[in-house]
């Protein structure tokens, strides 16, 4: 059985890792849109539904939330418990 401190530390890592992954996905969106999108002057960049940029955008939106952080904490605690 693991100590409470080890489980709490693992939960903290999980709680921080999930939003960090979401933030990283969000940071990659402009590069993906430039590489895979179609730039329309006066409109913006169009990209395919289900494409890389769209997937990064939805991943970023889903993972940068308190709910995602709580799930990450639970997963981290589960791995910390062993």
What are the tens digits of pLDDT across the range 15-71? 999 999 999 999 998 899 889 888 889 988 887 788 898 899 899 999 988 888 899
Sorted by where each begins, the domain ranges of the chain are 50-82
Evaluate if residue 4 carries a pLDDT over 60. yes
Q: What is the C-alpha to C-alpha distance for residues 15 and 57, in angstroms, rounded to an integer?
A: 20
User: What whole-number distance in Å separates Cα of residue 3 and Cα of residue 22?
Assistant: 30
Q: What is the reported pTM?
A: 0.73
Tell me, what's the pLDDT at 16? Answer: 92
Whose tokens are 């939805």? That residue is 58
């Amino acid at each position: 059985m693991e100590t409470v401190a080890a489980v709490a530390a693992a939960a903290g890592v999980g709680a921080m890792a999930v939003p960090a992954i979401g933030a990283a996905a969000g940071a990659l969106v402009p590069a993906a849109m430039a590489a895979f999108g179609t730039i329309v002057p006066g409109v913006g960049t169009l990209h395919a539904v289900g494409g890389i940029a769209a997937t990064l955008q939805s991943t970023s939106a889903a993972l940068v939330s308190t709910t995602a952080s709580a799930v990450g904490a639970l997963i981290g605690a589960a791995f910390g418990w062993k």
